[in-house]
């Protein structure tokens, strides 16, 4: 390996390390959100926790939130 290739690999490694340092926090937070949603939905609804990943569940959730927004408007 010549010196130029080593420099390029070193620079690429530094960029990859910097990207990992920036992206690991959002990745851990997203994973914690998924695990917390699974566990919380399982205990609150007494159904399978995997139901939290279904679109119908979230659609019902948003409809309930919208109905609470202004209860005096028909």
Task: Kindly report, residue by residue over 14-70, the tens digit of the pLDDT.
Answer: 898 899 989 999 999 999 999 999 999 899 888 888 888 999 988 988 988 888 876
Instruction: Write the CA distances from 51 to 7, 18, 61, 68, integer angstroms.
Output: 50, 36, 12, 23
Assess if residue 74 is contained within a domain.
Answer: no
Is the pTM value of this prediction over 0.75? no
Q: Are 51 and 41 in contact (CB under 8 A)?
A: yes
The count of domains in the chain is 1
Domain of residue 56: give its range.
Answer: 3-69
**Dist. CA 61–CA 74, nearest whole Å:** 19
End-to-end CA distance of the chain: 73
Assess if residue 53 is contained within a domain.
Answer: yes
Assess if residue 63 is contained within a domain.
Answer: yes
**Dist. CA 36–CA 25, nearest whole Å:** 16
């Amino acid at each position: 390996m010549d010196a130029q290739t080593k420099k390029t690999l070193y620079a690429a490694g530094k960029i990859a390390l910097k990207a990992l340092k920036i992206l690991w926090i959002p990745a851990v937070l997203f994973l914690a959100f998924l695990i917390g949603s699974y566990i919380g939905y399982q205990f609150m609804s007494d159904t399978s926790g995997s139901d939290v990943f279904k679109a119908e569940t979230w659609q019902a959730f948003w409809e309930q939130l919208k109905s609470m927004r202004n209860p005096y408007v028909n």
